Amino acid sequence: MCGLVGIVSGKPVAGRLVDALRRLDYRGYDSAGIATIEGDRMERRRAPGKLFNLEQRLDADPIGGAIGMGHTRWATHGIPNETNAHPHFVGDVCVVHNGIIENFAELRQELAEDGALFETQTDTEILAHLMARYTAEGHKPVAAMLEMLRRLRGAYAFAIMLRSHPGMMMAARCGPPLAIGHGDGEMFFGSDAIALAPFTDEVTYLANGDCAVITRTDVTLFDFYGLPVQRTRQMTQTSSYLVDKGNHRHFMEKEIAEQPEAISHVLARYVDFTSKSVKACNAIDFSGTDSLHIAACGTAYLAGCIGKSYLERYAEIAVEVDVASEFRYRTLPFSKRQAALFVSQSGETADTLAALHICRNNGVVTGAIVNVEGSTIARESDAVFPILAGPEIGVASTKAFTCQLAVFACLAIAAGRRRGTIDSAQEQALVGHLIEVPRIMSDVIARIQPQIEDLAARLARVRHVIYMGRGTSYPLAMEGALKLKEIAYIHAEGYAAGELKHGPIALIDDSMPVIVIAPYDRFFEKTVSNMQEVAARGGRIILITDEKGAAKSSLATIARIVLPHVDDIISPLIFALPLQMLAYHTAVIMGTDVDQPRNLAKSVTVE
Ligand code: M6R
């Protein structure tokens, strides 16, 4: 998944292309590049690594031109070096691309047999060669692009400019999002409206299978057969300001600290504080729902696992949760009495979007639990439940996770009321607990900080960590492990505490830290027994529990983090905090790139 931008203007574009790329680097930061046409010259500057490297290159060797395109890359085909960085040139053709051309190997072979010489290992270069071939055969630019589209398999969004046609730019979308920005005497392409926010707040989103040609003053939309299509032009709410870190060292640190406020926004939207009831949750009527699917990826998937517990417990709905990349290939009997929820911070994750399409095409009612309200998943779902976390910039998801949990809790209470599985007194009690979350979170974050920093110094010296828990603490264990892997590059696994003895316990020795997540809930004693089994084999226990749990457990631990005792419905929101903080401080000590860890991107728009 990469970010792309194109500008057709009467004014210089290089600086603005870089500005747009800065807003797109959540989609990848393996390399960046821009290309422009000035007079009869088409030039590019590219650099591996962060955008900063490209800026330095441009400072040393600027380019002019009033038409140009830019790209920030998350490598799929070919290592992240300068050669593989976009834009790619073949003859007069310049291409930037997001996605994967699945039949690239056969196309590459065909083109090579025709005499094409390849400079890169990318699938994108195929596009440039195909365009060059079809234009050389005498096709006009649009006809050449349509010819090319007939040859492609995969999911892609790309933009093309031709040195021979310096007043226009073309683009097509099959999968990943693409927006057109309408400016004053200039037009834009962008992977999303955020990239275009400094230039315009009027956008047209391309639908799947759309193509577009833009000039300075005009846009033409058509489908893959060349037939005209109409799409709505809309105003966006996206801010043109880039969010900054404030007084924090990293966005992740800021986003952890913002959680009390973020949860207050969720509560303001979904809770009536006076009557202690939930509101704004009935866009899907769960009263007639037989079963529910939840599909998501990464941290959003783990939020879905906790959401499942809430929905089963409070609304007595049978819920299946799948990793979206698996869900999309399952063979399932769908029915109109099912509903499906798709959880995504970005609202652009390719696998989650594909899972949504499958449900929608099978008549299942769909709901999106998203942070970015204008995102593709939000736009394409029957109902949207915004999580209102505000911009989350750190690649490691933190505040989006706890906001997703808060929205799931409200949805489960609302569904329980409609299905008659909880009464008004129970609703009031549960909402009463939710209302306490911002205050408890603030206290916990401030109080455990020194202890977490000490513990992080010890964790930074190990190579492997096991996390374990039961009930909602099992997905939390996986979330804690995911955070540590992702930003501290320490191998970590999250297990159901009861599963350890079925294999992983063989890993335990006196060098293995085991982080036990054990709130004093109905699983506590069972988890303590599993902890004993680990301790008996020399494992070094780090216990995360609450005041009641601490009073009940006297087992020797190397560290003990004690949180306030809270109700089950809010326990995962509170217990997520030490896990996030521990990963963060460990990564800081290890000196990793916390906000943009290696090999990752914030938004994953490829399969
Ligand atoms: O934008 P999404 O919530 O759909 O993203 C899903 C995952 O890629 C994401 O949660 C990822 O696992 C995070 N980097 C984890 O911190």
Query: pLDDT digit string (tens) for 363-385?
Result: 999 999 999 988 899 999 999 99
For residue 605 and ligand 1, the question of a CB distance below 6 A is answered with: no
Q: What is the pLDDT of residue 291?
A: 93
Cβ-Cβ contacts under 8 Å for 567 (sequence gap 6 or more): 430, 433
Using CA positions, which residue lies closest to atom 16 of ligand 1? Answer: 396
Condensed to tens digits (0 to 9), the pLDDT of residues 544-573 reads: 999 999 999 888 888 999 999 999 999 999
pLDDT over 80 (residue 607): no
For residue 486 and ligand 1, the question of a CB distance below 6 A is answered with: yes
Helix axes 399-419, 298-315, angle to 10 degrees: 20
pLDDT over 90 (residue 406): yes
Q: What is the pLDDT of residue 194?
A: 85
Q: What is the pLDDT of residue 176?
A: 87
* Cα atoms found within 13 Å of the Cα of residue 445, Cβ hemisphere only: 22
For residue 398 and ligand 1, the question of a CB distance below 6 A is answered with: no
pLDDT over 90 (residue 336): no
3-state per-residue secondary structure call for 14-33: HHHHHHHHHHHHHHCCCEEE
For residue 404 and ligand 1, the question of a CB distance below 6 A is answered with: no
User: ∠ CA(215), CA(219), CA(224), 5° rounding?
Assistant: 115
SS3 318: strand
Of 217, 180, 183, nearest in space to 200 by CA: 183
Q: Taking a C-beta distance cutoff of 8 angstroms, is the pair 472, 314 a contact?
A: no
Of 135, 109, 142, nearest in space to 123 by CA: 109
Q: Taking a C-beta distance cutoff of 8 angstroms, is the pair 159, 203 a contact?
A: no
Give the atom of ligand 1 at the shortest distance from the alpha carbon of 602.
Answer: 14
> 161 falls in which pLDDT band (50, 70, 90)?
very high
Q: Which CATH class is domain 3-235?
A: alpha beta
pLDDT over 80 (residue 1): no
User: ∠ CA(571), CA(577), CA(580), 5° rounding?
Assistant: 135
Beta strands 219-223 and 233-235 are unpaired
- Is 211 annotated as catalytic? no
For residue 376 and ligand 1, the question of a CB distance below 6 A is answered with: no
Of 254, 399, 483, 602, the active-site residue reads 602
Of 2, 94, 359, 410, the active-site residue reads 2
Q: What is the pLDDT of residue 246?
A: 84
Q: What is the pLDDT of residue 158?
A: 97
* Pick from 139-153, 239-253, 431-445: least confident: 239-253
In the chain, pLDDT over 70 holds for what percent of residues?
100
Q: What is the pLDDT of residue 453?
A: 97
If one residue of 192, 255, 327, 345 were mutated to test the ligand 1 pocket, choosing by the most ligand atoms within 8 A of its CB, it would be 345
Q: At residue 548, what is the residue type?
A: K
Q: How far is the CA of 298 from the centre of ligand 1 (A)?
A: 5
Mean pLDDT throughout 169-198? 94
Q: What is the pLDDT of residue 248?
A: 93
Q: What is the pLDDT of residue 374?
A: 85
If one residue of 27, 251, 256, 297 were mutated to test the ligand 1 pocket, choosing by the most ligand atoms within 8 A of its CB, it would be 297
For residue 521 and ligand 1, the question of a CB distance below 6 A is answered with: no
If one residue of 255, 299, 602 were mutated to test the ligand 1 pocket, choosing by the most ligand atoms within 8 A of its CB, it would be 299
Host H or E run for residue 269: helix 259-270
Of 162, 290, 267, 150, nearest in space to 209 by CA: 150
Using CA positions, which residue lies closest to atom 14 of ligand 1? Answer: 396
SS3 246: coil
φ/ψ of residue 47, rounded to 5: -155, 140
The domain limits of the chain are: 3-235, 251-435, 442-592
If one residue of 294, 305, 306, 349 were mutated to test the ligand 1 pocket, choosing by the most ligand atoms within 8 A of its CB, it would be 349
The CATH number of the structural domain formed by 442-592 is 3.40.50.10490
For residue 325 and ligand 1, the question of a CB distance below 6 A is answered with: no
Q: What is the pLDDT of residue 426?
A: 98
User: ∠ CA(388), CA(393), CA(398), 5° rounding?
Assistant: 65
Own/partner contacts of 174-177, CB < 8 Å, gap of 24 or more, are 174/99, 174/149, 174/208, 174/209, 174/224, 175/99, 175/208, 175/350, 175/605, 176/1, 176/98, 176/99, 176/348, 176/350, 176/605, 176/606, 177/205, 177/206, 177/348, 177/375, 177/376, 177/605
Cα–Cα distance for residue pair 99/123, rounded to 1 Å: 9
Q: What is the pLDDT of residue 139?
A: 97
* Pick from 55-59, 242-246, 476-480: least confident: 242-246
Mean pLDDT throughout 396-416? 98
Q: What is the pLDDT of residue 174?
A: 93
> 605 falls in which pLDDT band (50, 70, 90)?
confident
Q: What is the pLDDT of residue 554?
A: 81
Calculate the average pLDDT of the chain: 95
- Is 276 annotated as catalytic? no
Q: What is the pLDDT of residue 602?
A: 86
Q: How far is the CA of 95 from the centre of ligand 1 (A)?
A: 28
> 236 falls in which pLDDT band (50, 70, 90)?
confident
Q: What is the pLDDT of residue 288?
A: 87
Give the atom of ligand 1 at the shortest distance from the alpha carbon of 352.
Answer: 4
Same CATH topology for 251-435 and 442-592: the answer is yes
Q: What is the pLDDT of residue 25?
A: 85
pLDDT over 80 (residue 240): no
The CATH number of the structural domain formed by 251-435 is 3.40.50.10490
Give the atom of ligand 1 at the shortest distance from the alpha carbon of 397.
Answer: 16
Q: At residue 601, what is the residue type?
A: A
